[in-house]
Structure 1
Amino acid sequence: MKNISLLAFLVGLSLSAQAQEVVIDTNYYAPPPVRRRVILADPDDNLKTRQSKRADNRRELLDQLNEIQTWYIGTEGGFRSDGSILSNSLDGLVSSATLTKANWSVLLGYTYHNSWTIETGYTRSPIHLNITIANNADPLVFNYLNNGYGIPLRIKRRIGSGKGSVNGTGFWLTGGAWLIPNGSGQTGDFQLIGYSRRGRNRIDTLRLNNTTTVFNSVTGIAELGIDYATRLSTRFELGFYARKYWGLGDALKSDLLYTVNNGSQQQATITSNGSGWGLGLALRYIYGRQFEVKKH
């Protein structure tokens, strides 16, 4: 009987052990959670994209339009040469050189249908008169000029391949005239004395007297040239020019009297009217524009 009870107890214990749920904590051994990396668009790139789209839309709109009128302010800078006219060299004693000096202008302009332009303003470009006196290897040089300013009026016409180019680019034929109040300018008189040996015992006394005046009346300059303009942006334009100038009246005059031993006399006259050449650059700011839709 005791053996049967013991056997029943052992069987029951075995069944109870098999029925129990074994729970094992695996948190310590679990792998770390997977971190997902999410990359978002840079907001600065979005801003650049929007700005680029706006610029593209603006260009597309401008491509569909023609400039029919523009207004601009500009400045020019370059070099201008002008010479003098000598009537008598006084036996090679006197000459007159062509001078090349810097000049600048401030201008206002109006362009119509990208074909015609008119501009005016203020230019600083004196008219010069040069007297060079031979003196062995070291000549004496005297330079005179008028008050230095003028009021130009210039008309331009688009020519050549530029006529069919995009707005603001191409070649222009230019012509115009300057109004020049001569004013007082820089003038002065001089007297020179020298000696010349002829033979062993003959020495001649040479005297040269000069009087230079600036005409107080108003004179002028006519010009003809060619420009090339290229549009740097919607507001700025760069230009290059070459021009020929013709004086419309004398601005300065020098009267020279040459004597030898207070006897023999010769006279000479030097006049200057501003005739010459000019080269330079122009920068223009377009402050107003009017458009029309292109006709296809």
Structure 2
Amino acid sequence: MKNIYLFLVFLGLSTSAWAQEVVFDTNYYAPPPVRRRVLTADPEDRRAKGHIGRTSGDRKADYLELHRLKETQTWYLSSEGGFRTDLSTLTNSFDGLVRSTNQTKFAWSILTGYTFHNAWAIETGYTHAPVHLNITITNDPSPFVFNYQNSGFGIPVRLKRRIGLGKNAANGTGFWLTAGAWLIPNGDGQTEELKFSGYSTYAHSHRIDTLHLNVITGTEKRISGAAELGVDYATRLSSTLELGFYVRKYWGLGNALRSDLTYTVNTTSQQQSAITANGTGWGFGISLRYIYGKQYEVKSP
């Protein structure tokens, strides 16, 4: 009897164990949620591709996304082309025998730049804008004209600040105040010498004077510089192209070219003069910029 009772107790415990429900927590093994794609193509670039194959809803979504983003940083490459004037300084004209005229020549640049919040910009690169020196010697029937220039290479660094009514535009469109400085390697210091001889007679006497003019011109060996101040106007043509116009004033810092003149009458009376050119002048032209990088941030509501 005792054995039968123990058997029944054991059977009851086993049946209770079999009847328990086993529950597995599957939340831990659930696959991760599908993430929404947050990196999209440039909304300006999508708008520039036109309306072909796009619904009005797509265009409206692009418009809303574009106005939800704020352009904070851009990186660009720029090419400039225009004209630059050079002003030379003459200390003594020898009563009109010698003069120096201003020169206007073509100049170009290849630059790279960076803008911050479309309010500040900095750029640098390579510029080909030679400094010129002109010598014109009076002669009948036509004068003698000699033009000289330095190596033409320049390395500018330019800082820009957007000003005026356009400074609140969503992109770089508007007026920019610019200021900068240049390094100008002039050349190897080679010189060229010119010699002129002539005679001068007097109407009421038989006196004849012998005249000699000696001119030595060369570039400076040392590196000179220049400072500039100007105004740019830029307008965005597309999401990657920008057209600009500029006017700048240059001040030379150190001579780039120098000409020393000696004028002698009858080998006894001697006068000295000098012509110098340091790059002082004006520049104006156009620029085309390719924007190869942008960074946006979401506008605050």
Output the TM-score relative to the length of structure 1: 0.81
* 2:41 aligned residue: none
User: In structure 1, what is the Cα distance between the partners aligned to 2:58 and 2:237?
Assistant: 19
Identify the residue that residue 141 of structure 1 maps to in structure 2: 145
- 2:269 aligns to what? 264
1:71 to 75, 82, 85: 75
Residue 125 of structure 1, CA deviation? 0.2
Question: Matched residues in 2 for 1:122 and 1:185: separation?
Answer: 22
CA deviation map 1:111-143 (0-9, x unaligned): 000000000000000011111111134111111
Q: Which residue does the alignment assign to 1:84?
A: 88
Q: What is the identity, as a one-letter code, of the residue corresponding to 1:75? A: S
* Aligned length in residues: 250
Residue in 2 that maps onto 1:8: none
1:93 is matched with which residue: 83, 87, 97? 97
SS at the partner of 1:167? Answer: coil
**Cα separation, partners in 2 of 1:159 and 1:133, compared to 1, 3 Å:** same
Instruction: Specify every segment of 5 or more residues in structure 2 that has no aligned partner in the other structure, as ranges.
Output: 1-50
Match of 2:288 among 283, 287, 290: 283
Q: Closer, same or farther in 2 for the Cα pair 1:295/1:190, shift >3 Å?
A: same
Alignment partner of 1:179 is 2:183: yes
Alignment partner of 1:136: what SS?
Answer: coil
Larger radius of gyration: 1
Instruction: Give the counterpart letter for 1:101 in structure 2.
Output: K
User: Does the 8 A contact of 1:146 with 1:185 survive in 2?
Assistant: no
- Is the Cα–Cα contact under 8 Å of residues 71 and 170 in structure 2 kept in the other structure? no
Superposed CA offset, 1:160-210 (max 9, x none): 112112312000000000011111377521001122221252222211101
Q: Match for 2:259: what amino acid?
A: S
Q: Is the 8 A contact 1:64 1:294 kept in 2?
A: yes
The match for 1:218 among 219, 223, 235 is 223
Corresponding position: 1:245 with 2:250: yes
Counterpart CA distance in 1 for 2:129 and 2:109 is 8
C-alpha change, 1:56 and 1:96, in structure 2 (3 Å) is farther
Query: SS where residue 61 of structure 2 aligns?
Result: helix
| Corresponding letter in the other structure for 2:135 | I
Alignment counterpart, residue 158 of structure 1, candidates 156, 162, 172: 162
Instruction: Name stretches of at least 5 consecutive residues in structure 1 with no aligned partner.
Output: 1-46
Instruction: Rate the CA distance shift 1:50–1:97 in 2: closer, same or farther, 3 A.
Output: same
**Structure 1 residues 131 and 50: alpha-carbon distance in aligned structure 2, compared to 1, 3 A threshold:** same
RMSD: 1.7
Q: Secondary structure at the match of 2:105?
A: strand
Q: Aligned to 2:54, what secondary structure does the other structure show?
A: helix
Q: Is the 8 A contact 1:145 1:187 kept in 2?
A: no
| C-alpha distance in structure 2 between counterparts of 1:254 and 1:185, whole Å | 12
Matched, 1:119 2:155: no
Deviations for 1:200-254, whole angstroms, at most 9, x for unmatched residues?
5222221110111211111100000000000000000000000000001111111
Q: Aligned-pair distance for 1:57?
A: 3.4
- Distance in 2, matches of 1:53 and 1:129, equals 64
Report the Cα offset of residue 49 of structure 1.
Answer: 3.7
Q: Which moved more, 1:186-195 or 1:268-277?
A: 186-195
Deviates more, 1:213-222 or 1:51-60: 51-60
Name the TM-score, length of structure 2 as normaliser.
0.79
Q: Distance in 1 between matches of 2:102 and 2:67?
A: 48
Asked if 2 retains the 8 angstrom alpha-carbon contact of 1:144 and 1:187, the reply is no
Work out whether residues 238 and 282 of structure 1, in 8 Å CA contact, stay in contact via their aligned partners in 2.
yes
Tell me how far apart the structure 2 counterparts of residues 135 and 108 of structure 1 sit (CA, whole Å). 48
| Pair 1:231–1:94, CA change in 2 (3 A) | same
Instruction: Please tell me the residue identity of whatever aligns with 1:121.
Output: G
Runs of 4+ in 1 over 2 A off after TM superposition: 51-60, 184-187
Q: How has the CA–CA distance of structure 1 residues 140 and 54 changed in structure 2, closer, same or farther, with 3 Å as cutoff?
A: farther
Over 3 Å counting, the alpha-carbon distance change for 1:258 and 1:268 in structure 2 is same
Aligned equivalents of 1:111, 1:271: Cα separation in 2: 38
Determine whether 1:189 maps to 2:190.
Answer: no
